[in-house]
Amino acid sequence: MNNRFDTSAPDSEAKRPRGRPRKTVDERDDGNRRQAVLAAAAQLFRQKGFSATTTRDIAAAAGMQSGSPFYHFKSKEALLFAVMEAGMHTALARQAAAVQAHGHANAPADQQLRQLVQAHFDVLLGPGNDFVPVMLYESRSLPQRERKLVAQLISQYEALWVPVLNGLHASGQLRAPVGLSRLLMLGALNWSVQWFDPQKGSSVNDLVDAAMALFLGPSATTHTLSGDAARPSTE
């Protein structure tokens, strides 16, 4: 079990004594244990699915009694939503970092795409990252309202792909329509959680290379030949 998760945790992790938190009456302790429940839930939801996971399973994995998760979360569904929300926040944060790194506006579109793909795989396949897979494969179990909130976060995430794909389409590096391309590409990436095994041959970097080669085909890496290379930079 990894305890290296940054999932939307407030900045209060460092100077707390080890072991079970002290029970001085005034302390609400909304950090440590809550995170433990969240992480246990993420792992179990991913492993067995939401419905097949028992709140008792989660409690046990977090080292609590059967009723205790409900001290931290109103319901099992609320827990699921919290997992997904945390997952999307790490995804959005990682993506923002990627965009700043090399996609700083008029960088070559294929370089920008590579950053997005890299970030996507990282957040999907990185160690201890069960949150995003849960979000991808269990949203069916969410109540309508929460499902819409998650859908909004996903839209926000996908929105950053559109200008990059538009650029690639304009320069002829991407032939398929942008909308369907986005859906198909993200599908190819998302499906990797079903089969990827870091100890089984290829690394995440291999995956990035393969995806880029698959999506962009020949003449992806080196060329500035196309006529309309410079679109009016919006910044």
Partner DNA sequence: CCTACCGATCGGTAGG
Instruction: Enumerate residues 6+ apart whose C-beta is below 8 A from 200.
Output: none
- In terms of Cβ atoms closer than 10 Å to its own Cβ (0-12, 13-18, 19+), residue 137 is middle
- Using a 10 angstrom Cβ sphere, with 0-12 exposed, 13-18 middle and 19 or more buried, the burial of residue 200 is exposed
Contact assessment for residue 111 and residue 75, using Cβ atoms and an 8 Å cutoff = no
Q: Nearest 5°: phi and psi at 211?
A: -60, -45
Q: Give residues 42-61 in contact with DNA (rule: CB under 7 A).
A: 53-56, 59
**Rounded to whole angstroms, what are the CA distances from 120 to 4, 22, 125?**
18, 39, 8
Q: Which does 180 bind (CB under 5 to 8 A by kind): its own copies, DNA, none?
A: its own copies
The span from the CA of 123 to the CA of 132, in Å, is 7
Binder of residue 66, out of DNA, its own copies, none (CB less than 5 to 8 A by kind): DNA
Query: Using the rule CB under 8 A, is 210 a contact of its own copies?
Result: yes
Element housing 194 (H / E): helix 192-195
Per CB under 8 A, the list member of 4, 22, 28, 140 interacting with its own copies is: 140
Q: Between 36 and 150, name the residue whose CB sits nearer to DNA.
A: 36
- Smallest separation, CB 32 to DNA (Å): 7
Q: Which two tokens stand for residue 4?
A: 């290296």
**Candidates 1-9, 17-25, 26-34, 214-222; binding stretch for its own copies (CB under 8 A):** 214-222
> With respect to its own copies, which residue has the nearer C-beta, 187 or 232?
187
Beta strand segments in the chain, E: none
**Letter for the amino acid at 115?**
Q
Residues 121-180 that bind DNA (CB under 7 A): none
* Min CB(149)–DNA separation in Å: 18
Q: Which of 104, 183, 203, 231 binds its own copies (CB under 8 A)?
A: 183
Chain residues that interact with its own copies, rule: CB under 8 A:
47-52, 137, 140-141, 172, 174-177, 180-181, 183-192, 194-195, 202, 206-207, 209-211, 213-220
Chain residues that interact with DNA, rule: CB under 7 A:
20-21, 29, 32-34, 36-37, 53-56, 59, 62-68, 70-72, 74-77
